Chain A
Amino acid sequence: MTTKRPAFLMIPGVIAIAFLVIPLLALISDAPWSAFPGILSSPTALDALRLSLITSVLATIVATLVGAPLAWLLARDSLPGTRLIRALVIVPLLLPPVVSGVALLSAFGRRGLIGGSIYDATGWQFPFSTAGVVLAGTFVAMPFLVITLEGAFRSQDREIEEAAAVDGATPRMIFLRITLPLALPALLAGITLTWARAIGEFGATITFAGNLEGTTQTMPLAVYTALESDRDSAVALSIMLLVVAVAILVSLRGYYLPTRTDRTTR
């Protein structure tokens, strides 16, 4: 079932493909292949990769645990000022990440609004800790989960929920057994987008959490630091991150494609 491919769509579409793919191919063509094994097996690279995977997964879990309920509340207009809240929770998507980092410092730094009391009571602070990296990732990535999932909740057929309620299902049962399973493709899409945003996070992390190998230096920060002195290392680390990210996306078999959501929720 080949559809028609009019030139006015084909030409810009092909330009878009070229624009998005050429820099990635150029990066790979720049690769210092002979130096690869040494660079990628260095403690710096392995620490950064481990840290990136751990923090991005943790950020995704935190974002899902609090973001999915928020998406439901927004979709069902259960909160006063839904429109305002929706606008506010999307703001981190629009902010330059470095601004998010500054904002996080104002809130969670050791002289911050909330971080100040934590530091005074315990002597512990989010900045310069792995928890700070997770916090930064959660802040910048959670909006992806919320907007993806809210759209799915909103377009759901409410009759099934109502029927279940008539039959005596509690709100918790309805949410866990009907609403969430029906939105599963959107949930997976949201989780994938959130994770992808978290693993690529740079600006808020370096601003808020600092840059220390093994503790806060994730792959993007390791690439940035390597660029200071050794471009080959930076390219090798970039390709490593690219390969890991693509491998994970492929293994998720395209759940991140919104069209799939539309098809199944209808």
Chain B
Amino acid sequence: MFARILPPVMAAVIAITHATPNAAADNRPNPYVRSIPAATITVSAAASLTDVFPVIAGAFTKRYPQLRVTFNFGSSNSLVEQIRAGAPADVLATADEVSMWRATNANLTGTPILFARNTMAIATPKGNPAKITGLADLQKPTVTVAVCAPQVPCGRLAAEIFSKNSVTVTPVTKEVDVRSVVGKVIADQVDAGIVYSTDVKAFPDDLTGVSIPTASNVVTNYPIATVNESRNAQAAKAFVDYVRYSASAQRILRAWGFSTPW
């Protein structure tokens, strides 16, 4: 149902993202920083941002010492549902444009901008005990695979990769967010999981990643937006701008393995 209305919207989102690259955000004069009243903002963010967003928030609060940032991490869709149900949130960052569009379409957020891009990877327990070398190995009946549920972005992306490469994988479990898949792999409960490339990078000591070649892979773009119900609109806007336009935030995202959608 969304597929039909999505392309024009995505075009609009991309157009906006590319419209005003404000490279000067980092060098904004102090009066602007001080004009934002002290507040604690709540950022509802996709599970795949669990590691990188607190680091960005650390840099953000150095720049805006009067602001505090708390997080609510979960699957993108559940975050949207929470905001729809009135959960207090100032900023929403999702792992794909589909889930953000649900929020924007329901008039829950301002105009989203894309701030990062991710790809998928195969995660295996440390040392890759099942000797997975690529997507084809996931078809073997002896190999246990965890993926996300098709309702959430990482599950939709996993399904896209399987169909793009014509592999038939029978997962043993479909978890509701990507971090649950990561947990199952780290605990060596499954031989492999389809996760984001950044997840593999985030757990170098616990996971062995098997990369998926670019031609076989799919990408997802991360949008971020202010929440319309926010009581700290200025601070929320400052965070959104910081994530998208500041060189520091973008540098941190690169360091955690994200690439740019522009």
Contact = CB atoms under 8 A, between A and B. Distances in A.
A230 B102 CA distance: 11
Given A128-B144, A229-B77, A224 B176 contact: yes
Most central of A128, A210, A231 by chain B CB within 10 Å: A210
Contacts, number: 56
B162 to A, nearest CB: 16
B151 A109 contact: no
Contact of A111 (B78, B173, B175, B188): B188
Contacts of B188: 110-111
B151 to A, nearest CB: 4
A184 B94 CA distance: 55
Interface string B127-160: 0000000000000001010100101100000000
B254 interface: no
Which among B144, B152, B189 has the greatest number of chain A C-beta atoms within 10 A? B189
Interface string A94-137: 00000000000100011100000000000100011000000000
Interface residues of B, number: 21
A211 B152 contact: no
B184 interface: yes
Contact of A228 (B142, B152, B184): B152
Contacts of B77: 228-229
A192 B206 CA distance: 43
Nearest to A123: B142
A105 B176 contact: no
B237 interface: no
A132 B140 CA distance: 22
B187 A109 contact: yes
Interface of B is mostly: loop
Contacts of B87: none
A228 B173 contact: no
B48 to A, nearest CB: 15
Contact of B146 (A111, A210, A215, A224): A210
B144 A228 contact: no
A248 interface: no
Contact of B149 (A105, A128, A211): A211
Contacts of A210: 146, 172-175, 184
Contact of A110 (B149, B171, B175, B189): B189
Contacts of A224: 176
A227 B81 contact: yes
A211 B175 contact: yes
Contacts of B144: 128
B172 A212 contact: yes
B175 A105 contact: no
A interface majority secondary structure: loop
Interface string B176-198: 10000000100111100000000
Interface in A216-266: 216, 224-231
Contacts of B44: none
Interface in B99-125: none
B187 A231 contact: no
Contacts of B175: 210-211
Nearest to B175: A211
Contacts of A216: 173
B148 to A, nearest CB: 9
A212 B81 contact: no
Given A228-B75, A229-B77, A127 B189 contact: yes
B151 A212 contact: no
Contacts of B146: 210
A128 B176 contact: no
A128 B187 contact: no
B172 A231 contact: no
B173 A211 contact: yes
Contacts of B173: 128, 210-212, 216
A130 to B, nearest CB: 12
Give 3 closest A-B pairs by Cβ, nearest first: A210-B173, A229-B151, A128-B172
Given A212-B171, A215-B172, A228-B152, 11 more contacts: A109-B187, A111-B187, A111-B189, A123-B142, A210-B174, A211-B174, A212-B172, A224-B176, A227-B81, A228-B75, A228-B176
16 contacts: A111-B187, A111-B189, A123-B142, A127-B189, A128-B173, A210-B174, A210-B175, A212-B172, A213-B174, A215-B172, A224-B176, A225-B149, A225-B174, A228-B77, A228-B152, A229-B77
